[in-house]
Structure 1
Amino acid sequence: MEENYLKLCQKILDEGVEKSDRTGTGTKSIFGYQMRFDLQKGFPLLTTKKVPFGLIKSELLWFLKGDTNIRFLLQHNNHIWDEWAFERYVKSPDYSGPDMTDFGLRAVEDKEFREIYRQEKDKFCQKILEDDEFSASYGDLGNVYGSQWRHWQTKNGETIDQIQDVVDMIKHSPDSRRLIVSAWNPEDVPTMALPPCHTLFQFYVADGKLSCQLYQRSADVFLGVPFNIASYALLTHLIAHEAQLEVGEFVHTFGDAHIYNNHVAQVQEQLSRDIRSFPELKLNQEKTSLFDFEMEDIKIENYQPHPAIKAPIAV
């Protein structure tokens, strides 16, 4: 199944059009693509490069808690959302350190600046962990995924718990065509640190199996998509576990699927590697609700990937 992902990478390299982007990095891009993963045949954690499953677990649990502050992530040594919180801080009147304009690109191109940036971001993360007031001001990312999934705000001032609602429908109305969760709330998009890339997902129950289809409007294929595949596969497993169903397929549908220009060499290296067997997912069978799962309740076994491949993140 991993060949589905590698075929996408190759298609973008071969056929992608050059496009500018918000970060100024530039991409090769295609529009409209779909991959399918049979979750009965193994857990889709890529093997052509090591994908850090601990980060995927902690991020998904963060979403499921309805949390939007990076403090929880930092407590679990997860730094994948740091840059967006840090960007908000350095643009604020409270920041008085070195100039951090375009820090993402400059950190790649300038070794001396990269060290200054690292020091400033480390100080920022430490302060998020230690200072409640600072964390409340600059650790929060706005109404990102966790908020939309668990606390969607209505025009009447009420909240909708979309995850709980969809779980209840899967249990009691499994043939419904409304098993949908949306993270794209047009009213909240302007105030989010990063508008949702994975915007909407739908579940489908057939033959005692739960499948999930994700629509992703924007996909960083080298860095982000391996996380997205594993995260939604894990979410499908967790909900299937609570609903006492087997897992079916994860269907990944893309809008703009792109490779950043400064990721091309890394993608080519990954494409040169052989595919290995997917690992197995093990869940704590004593937990009955997906909201009760903690890090130690979710494990993978027999994961033997190629080494990780580093690449800069575009902010």
Structure 2
Amino acid sequence: MHYEQQYLDLMRRIWTSGDERTDRTGIGTRSVFGAELRFDLSGGQVPLLTTKRVYWKTATREFLWFLTGETNIRPLCAQGVEIWTDWPLDRYRRETGEDISRADFSARIVADAAFAGQWGDLGPVYGKQWTDWPVYDSAGSDGAGALFRKRERGVNQVAELVRSLRTNPGSRRHIVEGWNVAELDAMALPPCHKTYQFHVADGRLSGLVYQRSCDVALGLPFNLWGGALFIRMLAQQCDLEPGELVWMGGDVHLYLNHAELVEQQLARLPEGSPRLEIGRRPESIFDYRIEDFAVTGYAPAAHIAAPVAV
């Protein structure tokens, strides 16, 4: 069976028998609770969907942006990546009343550092938690209670993960966590792909992604690529072979206004077996560039557009 068939089966299951529910966006969804997909990553295999085009370079640029710890959309917009622009744009329109287009907003973010500083920040989202999880030390007491001082730098979970994979591969603590309860309210969007756990066996590195909330039509294709990319990069850095990507979803849903996308995609048949090649091994996991990645054997069906729920 083609690796993509399990994704299509999940999409069909949600669309035909999922519970119809109201949601945060007001659009409404059909959803199931609890799902699992598994993909073999050996031999360069990657779970790129073939029944529609997945812009893997865009997804890779987003992932590399996470690893910088950056939380402002300016570096993304400068590369033509608009994945995160809708949230700051929505806030700008609400607070200023200006009905600016996304293209004009993005261009202004790139051109004007002060404007980007005021309107382009997303709060402590993925990259901040992955590379600078805040830590507080005791600073004594003022008589009314304990005082705490925030360290200048927090925990770099990704760096710690690389270290633990190299020095203690049998550990059950190879985890990167994004769900910082204390900072959720400061985030433009709380993390969806919130937890990553890794497992080493027989020299092979496998990874599990737990996603609390999953937009199957638009988000999941990127999330599967990101999970596979993370495993491949870690495996290269830690002298391991890639094993398996395990994806697990909590609230797994399709938006009701994605009917045309769902019907088009389910009418297509998956085919092909794309491979990911990494052209060099940089000094650290934080030093990869977009030029380091190439995909071969990828000839997908046409892209299917659909609106993003903000």
TM-score normalised over the length of structure 1: 0.91
- 2:33 corresponds in structure 1 to 31
Query: In 1, Cα distance between the equivalents of 2:98 and 2:299?
Result: 43
Cα distance in 2 for residues equivalent to 1:279 and 1:160: 36
CA offset digits 1:26-76 (Å, max 9, x no partner) = 000000111100111611110000000111110000001111111111111
User: Offset of 1:286 from its aligned partner?
Assistant: 4.0
Q: How far apart in 2 are the matches of 1:149 and 1:67?
A: 10
| Conserved 8 A contact 1:221-1:259 | yes
Q: Residue type of the partner of 1:296? A: E
Q: Return the alpha-carbon distance in structure 2 between the equivalents of residues 256 and 163 of structure 1.
A: 26
Aligned pair partner of 1:207 in 202, 206, 228 = 202
Root mean square deviation of aligned Cα: 1.1
8 Å CA contact 2:237, 2:281 repeated in 1: no
| SS of corresponding position for 1:176 | coil
The residue type equivalent to 1:97 in the other structure is E
Structure 2 counterpart of 1:243: 238
> Segments of 4+ in structure 1 off by > 6 A?
none
8 Å contact kept, 2:74–2:116: yes
- The one-letter code sitting in structure 2 at the alignment partner of 1:30 is V
> How does 1:257-296 map onto structure 2 within 5 Å?
257-296=252-291
Percent identity (aligned): 43
For residue 216 of structure 2, what is the aligned residue in structure 1? 221
Distance of 1:277 and 1:120 partners within structure 2: 38
The equivalent of 2:169 in structure 1 is 174
Residues 81-120 of structure 1 mapped to structure 2, 5 A cutoff: 81-92=84-95, 95-98=96-99, 120=101
Aligned to 2:249: 254
Residue of structure 2 in register with 1:197 after alignment: 192
Distance 1:218 1:278 in 2: 28
SS of match in other structure, 1:247:
strand
Listed one character per residue, the Cα deviations across residues 247-273 of structure 1 (whole Å, up to 9, x for unaligned) are 000000010000000112211211111
1:83-162 alignment runs, 5 A limit: 83-92=86-95, 95-98=96-99, 120-156=101-137, 157-158=150-151, 159-162=154-157
Q: Secondary structure at the match of 2:182?
A: coil
Match of 1:13 in 2: 15
SS in 1 for 2:26: coil
Aligned residues of 1:241 and 1:288 also touching (Cα < 8 A) = no
Q: Secondary structure at the match of 1:152?
A: coil
Task: State the Cα distance separating 1:288 from its structure 2 match.
Answer: 3.7
Q: Give the residue type in structure 2 aligned to 1:217.
A: R
Instruction: Select 1:51's aligned residue among 32, 51, 54.
Output: 54
Is contact 1:33–1:254 with CA below 8 Å preserved after alignment?
yes
CA distance in 1, matches of 2:283, 2:246: 25
Query: Any idea what the Cα deviations from partners look like across 1:238-296, whole Å, max 9, x if unmatched?
Result: 01110011100000001000000011221121111111123111112242422111111
In the TM superposition, residue 120 of structure 1 has moved relative to its aligned partner by 2.4
Residue identity in the other structure for 2:126 = Y
69, 72, 77: which is aligned to 1:74? 77
1:214, 1:144 → 2: CA distance?
17
CA distance in 1, matches of 2:18, 2:228: 27
State the partner residue of 1:114: none
Contact 1:75 1:129 in 2 (8 A): yes
Query: Which whole-Å deviations, capped at 9, do the CAs of 1:149-198 have from their partners, x for residues lacking one?
Result: 00111233130000000110001000000001100001110110001011
Instruction: For 1:10, give the aligned amino acid.
Output: R
Query: Conserved in 1, the CA contact under 8 Å of 2:166 and 2:238?
Result: yes
Q: Secondary structure of the equivalent of 2:71?
A: coil
Superposed displacement of residue 227, structure 1: 0.4
Gaps of 5+ in 1: 99-118
TM-score (norm 2): 0.92
Aligned length: 293
Contact 1:46 1:278 in 2 (8 A): no
